[in-house]
Amino acid sequence: MDLLLPDFGLFFWMTLSFLIGFFLLKKFAWKPILQALSDRENSIAESIATAESMKIEMSNMKNENELLLNQAREERSMMLRDAKETKEKMINEAKEMAKEEANRIMIEAREQINHQKNAAIIDVKNQIGTLVIEVAEKVLRKELSNKAEQNNYINSLASEIKLN
Amino acid sequence: MILSPKISLKAFVALLFLLVGYSFISFSQPQPIATNTTTEQHVEGEKKKIDVKEIIFGHIRDSHEWHLFSIGEFHATLPLLVILYNPAKGFSAFLSSKFEEGEVAYEGYRMINAKDVELDKNLVEGKIVAVDGSKVYDISMTKNVVSMIISLLLLWFLMTGIAKKYKKNGINKAPTGWQNAIEPVIGFVQDNVAKPYLGKHYLKYMPLLLTFFFFIWINNLMGLLPGGANLTGNIAVTLVLTLVFFVVMLFNSNKYYWGHIFNPPGIPLGIKFILVPIEILSNFLIKPAALAIRLFANIFAGHTIILSLMCMIFIFGAMNQVAGYSASIFSVAFSVFMFFLELLVAAIQAFIFTNLAAVFIGQAIEEHHHDDHAVDTHKSNS
pLDDT digit string, tens, across residues B247-270: 999 999 888 888 888 888 888 888
* Each residue's pLDDT tens digit, B50-67: 778 778 888 888 888 888
CA nearest to A3, candidates B200, B144, B169? B144
Q: Give just the sign of the alpha carbon dihedral B145, B149, B155, B156.
A: positive
Of A14, A30, A39, the CB nearest to B240: A14
- Whether the pLDDT of residue B25 is over 70: the answer is no
CB distance B174 to B117 below 8 Å: no
Backbone φ and ψ of B197, nearest 5°: -100, -25
Residue B249 amino acid letter = M
pLDDT band (50, 70, 90) for residue B316: confident
Mean pLDDT of B338-364: 93
Closest CA relative to residue B332, chosen from B300, B309, B303: B309
Task: Say what the pTM is.
Answer: 0.71
All residues of chain A having their beta carbon less than 8 Å from the beta carbon of residue B203 are: 34, 38
Tell if the CB–CB gap between B207 and A34 is shorter than 8 Å.
yes
What are the boundaries of each domain within chain B? 75-141, 143-369
The whole-number pLDDT of residue A47 equals 93
CA nearest neighbour of B338 among B308, B295, B317, B294: B308
Distances (CA, A) of A55 to A44, A49, B156: 16, 10, 45
CB contact under 8 A, B207 and A43: no
Q: How far apart are CA B61 and CA B66, in angstroms?
A: 11
**Arithmetic mean of pLDDT, A45-55:** 95
Task: Out of B36-40, B148-152, B302-306, pick the least confident.
Answer: B36-40
Residue of A nearest to B128 (CA): A9
Q: Distance from A28 to chain B by nearest Cα, in Å? A: 6
Degrees, nearest 5: CA angle B328-B332-B338: 145
Q: Are A24 and B156 a contacting pair at CB < 8 A?
A: yes
Read off the pLDDT of each residue in A108-137 and give the average, rounded to a whole number.
Answer: 90
A44 at the B interface (CB within 8 A)?
no
Confidence label for B98 from pLDDT (cuts 50, 70 and 90): confident
Shortest Cα distance, chain B CAs vs residue A79, angstroms: 56
The set of long-range contacts for B275-278, using a CB threshold of 8 Å and a minimum separation of 24, is none
Interchain contact, B166 vs A32, CB within 8 Å? yes
Q: Which residue has the higher pLDDT, B87 or A24?
A: A24
Q: What's the pLDDT score for residue A98?
A: 94
3-state secondary structure of B191: helix
Q: How many CB pairs under 8 A join A and B?
A: 123
Task: State the Rg of chain B over Cα.
Answer: 25
Contacts of B233 (CB under 8 A, 6+ apart): B60, B223, B296, B298, B299, B300, B302, B303
User: Residue A33's closest chain B neighbor by CA?
Assistant: B163
Distance from CA of B166 to the nearest CA of A (A): 6
**A11 and B240: CB-CB below 8 Å?**
yes
Q: How confident is the model at residue B369 (pLDDT cuts 50, 70, 90)?
A: low
| Residue A29 vs residue A137, higher pLDDT | A29
**Is residue A101's pLDDT more than 90?**
yes
For chain B, give the percent of residues with pLDDT over 70: 83
Q: Is A15 on the interface with B (CB under 8 A)?
A: yes
Cα-Cα-Cα-Cα dihedral sign, residues B40, B44, B48, B54: negative
- Interface-testing mutation among B54, B169, B240, with chain A (most A C-beta atoms within 10 A): B240
Confidence of residue B17 (pLDDT cuts 50, 70, 90): low
Higher pLDDT, A143 or A54: A54
List alpha helices for A2-30, DSSP H. 8-25
Over residues B202-225, mean pLDDT: 94
Q: How far is CA B308 from CA A34, A38, A113, B143, B313, in A?
A: 42, 47, 146, 21, 9
Chain A residues closer than 8 Å to B56 by CB:
none
Which of A11, A33, A39 is closest, CB to CB, to B162?
A33
Q: How far is B163 from chain A (nearest CA, A)?
A: 5
B244 contacts on A by Cβ (under 8 Å): 18-19, 22
Least confident of B121-125, B236-240, B362-366: B121-125
- When the pLDDT of each residue in chain A is averaged and rounded to a whole number, the result is 89
Contact B166, A36 (CB under 8 A): yes
In this prediction, residue B49 carries a pLDDT of 65
Beta bridge partners of B128: B111
Is the CB of A25 less than 8 angstroms away from the CB of B61? no
Is the confidence at residue B378, as pLDDT, over 60?
no
Residue among B144, B166, B183 minimizing CB distance to A10:
B144
pLDDT for A142: 67
Mean pLDDT score of chain B: 81
Shortest CA distance from A12: residue in chain B:
B139
| Residue B42 confidence class, pLDDT cut points 50, 70, 90 | very low
Is A13 in the B-facing interface, judged by CB distances under 8 Å?
A: yes
